[in-house]
Structure 1
């Protein structure tokens, strides 16, 4: 039976990042996922969503040995623009820019396609001889003891691990095996995810357009065939999203352009559409005996303000710091209690905050829309508060 330092369940961006980070730090790692990672955009089932890595995540990705290879593919996010188009017609009536130069010499973050992230992370793992990546094999069960966890995989292989990391999604098998509950909030929303080209340059501005049902967010991507390109997350009620998914491309493009309030001109699809359910979820705790939860195994938020994966990498940074500071205590009760104490209150606060933002974005009545527009204008007008909000969005505590 293999003896390792860390077992990771989950081969998404968070799990792969955890394997690269712990492997780069010198720990022996096994990472398993029942679904092999898809690392080409054209492949069936490819994750066409994008992720904006905010400033604090850059250091973690550098420690994991992947930042330098990702940077050439990055689209910087210099300005976060909020547009309220909640008037009688879908036109901007309040526009406010939050500029990273107000608080930093660097952009807020950098945007990447998820399939590209997986590709570079898998490549990094192949360079680490102390990391054993087992795609096509899943977590089956574990038996934890004070000194170690006995892990069994779906191929019947077994190992002894000092630390088990559950990075295996909102229905985490590791969380269930550890007996940790989770509270889930459903909004009746879905999100359509797609990429577009448009005639007007995005100028490295990420734009959230608010009307009703949820935000319509355009996030900068590198140019495609000489044309400005953006990733889009369009949140709305479930029935409306399913209706739009069935539209012909030209009709869908027309509705998307109208919903965008025309901020970048007419939108043209540059790939296929995908639809995702929107929920909030928070695990009751982020640790159990010899077990740590991170990413969507611990928390799920609607895709607003680039919080989701950046919260996940903050989890990973905390866990890695604790492991490197006291490697002899890897996975012990004190280390994991410290991890929960440092992360869970912060995570709970952000889950509540994003929940409130999402509910505001869903406002459908004219009165609630007007209140939202006044709130955006008012918050922006107080410079110290505006800077504090930007710093908190990057992960700083207020």
Structure 2
């Protein structure tokens, strides 16, 4: 006999766990499943060493979900976004522009946290919610939908009847595929190298993005490590070059990354293992099906630029949560899902296109085009209304 709940969440990554906490805190009965138990220790095999910047609107949602009190002690504020062009012939920093959150807000742009730590604290929050049943080690297998409910088959042989199925199960979403929703994929031939570093110069809560060619090299503030200033690095490069970099021994890799950072924080020292992630852009052709809503990477995948990834996912969640609380009796019905698709699809398409443009500009190999990019960075910063408008757009402020 099938179990019943209001919402079955397929996927227990950061987005899925946040959704479980948010809907559970709002009083909905939630079952959240994921095929793999979350890795919640930085040093454990399989730990996700990437970091995520939670922007201002995302923090408000984390507060609603009862998550922010768990996360705040570990969060590093991001007060300034520094954009650097080092695309000249000698690779030095020739254009540096600071986008300061104080121009538009009395809060930082956002707060940076390691992904493994996000999972740890979110799982702790779910344990305190009697409305949420989190089942790591269980996957979704089958989806059958009817007018009033969805029936989901699980890998443990069980079945769940839910008014809404929320697919937060990644770029290869099994629930999206079960619903027959097609995707459009763009491949860049890039790989993102992800790791942590220490450096002699303090980051001062400044996130620094260095553009040369191949993709941006981004240093995002972390708490000090062993008494030294520390940052998370996302280094996007051509796939062939990225593989060669991954094969370097530590001293040679440290020399390469210090050079690629334009020396802005002094010599960088590797402070974690290196991980490599392929870079693609992917969007679902629609964000809903009968009794099913897609969110996060099941709906949209973008390159890691401008802290847009998780924050687009949180915007999906906020929209769904607002609709569900406004009319709980319509949870998962056609009217609710049509509203969700209309509200989110245009924003998703605009942000995917914007990040695609930024990524392509960061990859430019030709010197004249890199020179044009440097002038563009300066112009966008130096015209105050444009600068403030871009910062507000990036935050998703209304």
2:348 matched residue in structure 1: 347
CA distance in 2 between counterparts of 1:239 and 1:167 reads 31
Question: Structure 1 residue 67 and structure 2 residue 68: aligned?
Answer: yes
- 1:98 positional shift: 0.2
CA distance in 2 between counterparts of 1:3 and 1:97 reads 51
2:191 matched residue in structure 1: 190
- 1:112 positional shift: 0.1
CA deviations over 1:99-118 (Å, ceiling 9, x no partner) = 00000000000000000000
CA distance in 2 between counterparts of 1:305 and 1:252 reads 25
CA deviations over 1:170-210 (Å, ceiling 9, x no partner) = 01001101111110000000000000000000000000000
CA deviations over 1:22-45 (Å, ceiling 9, x no partner) = 111110011111111000000000
1:314 matched residue in structure 2: 315
TM (norm. structure 2) is: 0.99
Secondary structure in 1 matching 2:329: helix
1:112 matched residue in structure 2: 113
Alignment of 1:1-398 (within 5 A): 1-396=2-397
CA distance in 2 between counterparts of 1:153 and 1:368 reads 52
Secondary structure in 1 matching 2:230: strand
Secondary structure in 2 matching 1:196: strand
CA distance in 2 between counterparts of 1:374 and 1:159 reads 56
Instruction: Indicate conservation of the 8 Å contact 2:70/2:125, yes or no.
Output: no
CA distance in 1 between counterparts of 2:388 and 2:160 reads 48
Secondary structure in 2 matching 1:349: helix
CA distance in 1 between counterparts of 2:70 and 2:163 reads 31
Secondary structure in 2 matching 1:318: helix
CA deviations over 1:137-184 (Å, ceiling 9, x no partner) = 100011001100011011110011000000000010011011111100
CA deviations over 1:270-319 (Å, ceiling 9, x no partner) = 11000000000111011110000000000011000000000000100000
Secondary structure in 2 matching 1:40: coil
CA distance in 1 between counterparts of 2:350 and 2:202 reads 35
Secondary structure in 2 matching 1:342: helix
* Stretch moving more, 302-311 or 129-138: 129-138
Structure 2 portions without partners, runs of 5+: none
Secondary structure in 1 matching 2:151: strand
CA deviations over 1:315-371 (Å, ceiling 9, x no partner) = 000001100110000000000000000001100100000000000000011011001
- 1:63 positional shift: 1.0
- 1:2 positional shift: 1.1
Instruction: Indicate conservation of the 8 Å contact 2:22/2:64, yes or no.
Output: yes
CA distance in 1 between counterparts of 2:128 and 2:176 reads 30
- 1:64 positional shift: 1.0
Q: Provide runs of 4+ in structure 1 moved above 2 Å.
A: none
CA deviations over 1:67-118 (Å, ceiling 9, x no partner) = 0121110110000000000001111000000000000000000000000000
CA distance in 2 between counterparts of 1:221 and 1:302 reads 21
CA distance in 2 between counterparts of 1:204 and 1:221 reads 8
CA distance in 1 between counterparts of 2:198 and 2:270 reads 7
Secondary structure in 1 matching 2:156: coil
Secondary structure in 2 matching 1:217: strand
TM (norm. structure 1) is: 0.99
